[in-house]
Structure 1
Amino acid sequence: MSEPTIVMTLMVRDEADVVAAMIEHHLAEGVDLVIATDNGSVDGTREILADYAQTGRLELHDYLQHDKRQSQVVSSMASRAATEHGATWVINADADEFFVAVDPSMTLRDALRATPTGIGSFAVPVTNLTGAPARRGAAFERLVWRDLRKESTLMETVALHAHPTSDVIHVGRPGVTVQQGNHGVDIPSMGRPDPAHAIEVLHLPWRTYEQYSRKIDHMGRAYEASTTLNPSPRHHGMRDYRFLRAGHLEALYMVRHPGDEPGEDFEHEPRVLHSLQRVLESGQAVRPDRLRPLLIGGWDGYVPEECAEAARVAAVVIPLELEHLKASTRWRDLYRTEAAGRRRAEEQLELAARDDRSTARRLASRVLGAVRRRVAALRRR
């Protein structure tokens, strides 16, 4: 079986607390090259990417506009993966996503080597990792629990609409279009990998409040600046942007974390931590100086009294948000109903106008016919 060429794309902004770990993990898992675009980072992320670019394992580009043109930028990188690097498989990832084979005895390369390219593209499920909340500091030792809470209760308990949408892996193809959010491509899926070679994503979106609040602020401002993108009222990022502007995001961040000893809705999952430790300890790290600081050192956690106060705030804020969503949905439904009625009325007017024009043409034809017959009769006389 021939060896695939695996290329990962990465568009990133201000993710210095995780990006080196993400790159090291995927290079160790068998990714041949990372094509990265820095989106105007100011926290040292671009310098980290530049260090990896010097090793030849990462190709670095820049996109400085903060306008949420992720689809355009990632599509360009994904196309380049095929045209410039001959990619067999392309993985479009975020800095907080860690792709792994479901079977822990396999690497990502093992799984993709065994996956037929004829399926074109396939969805990859994403699971959040969580744990104890922290204001700042190291994340990987804390966030070692799969979030398996029921979606039906997420909104009422922690103001989340749903668990993450699946990502997608696809064959290399020039001119491919990657959807906003990396959740789909215009390459049809003709099947799924054999379950023995399944792949999943372990996702660390809420590492520290410092990191998460910065991310939400960046995202909200970028959407506000965009003239073409219009997220729905249910968009989780824009909801958190409202919480941030109202001064309640930290409380919501805290209640989304179950702490050090979560209940039955969480499953212990230290694979990301163990993967990174193994890469560092084995000497496999490409830039150990960039990885090591992310695995050592403590964090600034919250005391029980702070967590209790956050729960009290959330108990007030979340019902208000549910009312906001209901109102937004009602207005959206009213708008859609009105727009649909307007379209039907316009269609009926157009049909009526067409009927009027058709009637006029028939009348004109009859009159013209009568005139021609009259003229012909006069000529015969």
Structure 2
Amino acid sequence: MSSHRCVLAGALALGLSACNADAPGSDGALVPEGEAVAVCNDFRADPKVLASMRAGDIALRMALASGAKPDPVAEAASAIARGDFRLAAATTPVGVSLDLYNAQCRLLGSPAAWSIRALAFVPDLAAAEGRGADVPATAFGRQYNAALMADPHYPYRDICRPVSDVGPEPEIRPEEPISQPYGFADLQSGEAVDTMGYAARHNAVDQLRRLVAARPQDIDKPDMFGLTPLAWAIAYQRWRTADVLIEAGASPTGASCQTAIDRQSPLQVARLMRWTDMIGRLRSYVSEEEFANLRQNPRYDDASLADFNRAFFQIKHRYDPILRQRSFSRYELQFTIDEGGNSTSCELVPASNSPEFDAELCEVAMKVVRWTPARDAFATTVPGDAKLVFGLGK
């Protein structure tokens, strides 16, 4: 397994760091034109469309700030007509909040910037919730979202719902088994939406076959959340619709501009769901290199690394007269991490000119730095190697 590494440069030792090897980074009516979209089949790849959406959002924020009273129901109807299904949200110091405007989407992580209409920046979310409908943007946002989600053409009502209907969103922890991090499979209502994503999520085989036959070019088209129909079928653990899509040629790596390691790709969703059988089903449709790239190296915990950085400076200060007898060089703390995320060995490579420094540094590192264990391509925790890289010397 490849090592987890990051190079930290500087005139003297500047502390320790590492690089997380995270796997990176529409069912609507929008049909933008342009070469980027022709290649990616994704409206988010067209700068003109994104610029138009941004300009509309800015105009709406300015209208609210000026004291004007735009009609939220009319605005929602206009958005639906042009295929813009983004919910109103507030941005905060810690991310995006849909809850302030009485909406909640069950997705992996916070909604991406392109999937929401930001109406306001809220420095203190608790205070903003207390003021509620007294704030023009809040009153507008709540009515806008209610109208958008109630519209029969809204294609994500099984993913996004009013907060009052769904209760708290479950906390998602990648290191734990997950049963249903996406959508509200048990909270369906109204008529089915005629999109591949909806059909895939709800095991509607006949509907899905009809849609695939009518628009085969859209089989790998990502929706507003970046997921293709196959990714949604896997997120909802729908064997039947997943088979329909795979047999029709749907890509396990997602849209044409996605890769196997992207968070929204069908393979990554299968890994998140710990669906080993589905990962095995998809394996033959990707290269060995793509499959191998799904492996994840151990990841350090940010807070524990910060604690270790402080300890490192203290240890280095005590040994500095000895360490400075050598020219500046690059060093690696090399760890072996077991499947539980525990350090089982540590070695400084190359060794410094102070065996005592090497031993003390490793002893502290093994006690302080916490790790999320490595996972193989099937998302099973396995032993792995990790590195912290730094410089020492004069």
Using the size of structure 2 for normalisation, the TM-score is: 0.23
Question: Which of the two has higher C-alpha Rg?
Answer: 1
Using the size of structure 1 for normalisation, the TM-score is: 0.24
Flag the structure with higher helix content: 1
